[in-house]
Structure 1
Amino acid sequence: MNRNKKRYILPIVFCTAALFVFDVNADAAAGVPQADSVQSEAAGDIWQQQAELAAANEEAYRKAQEQYAAELAAYQQALLEQQAREKKEDQAQQNLAEAENVKTEETDGAASPTEAAPAVIPPAQSLQTLPQNGTIANGRLIAAGLLSAPVETPLKGKSISILGDSISTYQGYIPSGYACFYPETQNDVKDVTQTWWMQVLYNTGMRLAVNGSYSASAVCGDSQAEDSSAGCSTRRINELMGTDGTVPDVILVYMGANDFFRSMELGKFNGMTGRGEKYYTNFTEGYELMIQKLLRTYPASRIYCMTLIEANSGDHPRINEKGNTIADFNQRIKEIAAAYGLPVIDVHNCGMEVYELNHYTSDGTHPNKEGAAKMANYVTAMLLQTA
Structure 2
Amino acid sequence: MRKTLVLFIAFISILTFSATAVAPKAGVSILGDSYSTFEGHVTPDTNYVWYFKAPKPGRTDVDKVSQTWWHQLICDKGLRLVVNNSFSGATICNRGYRGDDYSDRSFLTRVKELGSPEIILVFGGTNDSWAGVEVGEYLDENGKTADGSAPDLYTFRPALDIMLSTMKDYYPGADIYFIVNSELRPEITESIVTLCGRHGIETVMLENIDKQSNHPSVKGMAEIARQVGAKLK
Amino acid at match of 2:105: S
CA RMSD in angstroms comes to 2.3
Q: Secondary structure at the match of 1:345?
A: strand
Aligned twin of 1:295? 168
Matched, 1:240 2:114: yes
Q: Which has the higher contact order (CA 8 A, sep 6+)?
A: 2
Structure 1 counterpart SS, 2:111: helix
Of 36, 39, 53, which residue of structure 2 is paired with 1:171?
39
Q: Hey, what's the Cα distance between the residues in 1 that align with 2:180 and 2:211?
A: 17
Paired residue type of 1:240: L
- Report the Cα offset of residue 172 of structure 1: 1.0
Distance 1:296 1:277, change over 3 A: farther
Shift of 1:272: 2.9
Give the TM-score normalised by structure 1. Answer: 0.48
1:329 aligns with 2:188: yes
Query: What's the counterpart of residue 77 of structure 2?
Result: 204
- Describe how 1:302-317 pairs up with structure 2 within 5 A: 302-310=175-183
Distance 2:136 2:24 in 1: 39
Match for residue 202 of structure 2 among 343, 351, 372: 343
**Displacement after TM superposition at 1:289 (Å):** 1.0
CA contact under 8 A between 1:304 and 1:344: conserved in structure 2? yes
Q: Is the 8 A contact 2:65 2:71 kept in 1?
A: yes
Instruction: Find 1:264's aligned residue among 111, 126, 133.
Output: 133
Letter in 1 for 2:223: K
For residue 261 of structure 1, give the secondary structure of its aligned residue in structure 2. helix
Q: Is the 8 A contact 1:271 1:339 kept in 2?
A: no
**TM superposition shift of 1:270:** 5.6
- Cα separation, 1, equivalents of 2:163 and 2:202: 15
What does residue 382 of structure 1 align with?
231
Aligned to 1:249: 118
The residue matched to 1:238 in structure 2 has which SS? coil
- Separation in 1 of the partners of 2:117 and 2:150? 24
> Can you give the 5+ residue segments of structure 1 that lack an aligned partner in the other structure?
1-154, 242-246, 312-324, 353-359
Task: Could you tell me which runs of 5 or more consecutive residues in structure 2 were left unpaired when the two chains were aligned.
Answer: 1-22, 96-100
Find the counterpart in structure 1 of residue 219 from structure 2: 370
Residues 276-296 of structure 1: CA distance to partner in whole angstroms, max 9, x if unpaired? Answer: 987722100110111011112
Q: More strand by proportion, 1 or 2?
A: 2
2:139–2:158 contact (8 Å) kept in structure 1? no
Q: Secondary structure at the match of 1:212?
A: strand
Compared with structure 1, are the counterparts of its residues 270 and 229 closer, same or farther at alpha carbon in structure 2 (3 Å cutoff)? closer
Larger gyration radius, structure 1 or structure 2: 1
Residue pair 2:125, 2:188 contacting (<8 A) in 1 also: yes
Aligned residues: 196
Q: What is residue 220 of structure 1 aligned with on the other side?
A: 93
C-alpha contact (below 8 Å) 1:182/1:190 kept by paired residues: yes
Whole-angstrom distance in 2 between the partners of 1:277 and 1:228: 20
- In structure 2, the CA distance between the partners of 1:362 and 1:259, relative to structure 1 (3 Å rule), is same
What does residue 67 of structure 2 align with?
194
Q: Paired residue for 1:56?
A: none
Query: Structure 2 vs 1, CA of residues 212 and 182 (structure 1 numbering), >3 Å: closer, same or farther?
Result: same
TM-score (normalised: structure 2)? 0.78
Q: Deviations over 1:319-352 (max 9, x none)?
A: xxxxxx2x321111010011111111112x3x33
Instruction: Select the structure that is richer in helix.
Output: 1
Displacement after TM superposition at 1:238 (Å): 2.1
Q: Is the 8 A contact 1:209 1:248 kept in 2?
A: yes
Q: Secondary structure at the match of 2:216?
A: coil
Which amino acid in structure 2 is aligned with residue 232 of structure 1? L
1:266: Cα distance to partner? 1.3
Between the aligned residues of both structures, percent identity stands at 29
Q: Is the 8 A contact 1:167 1:366 kept in 2?
A: yes
Letter in 1 for 2:31: L
Shift of the 255–179 alpha-carbon distance from structure 1 to 2, 3 Å rule, reads same
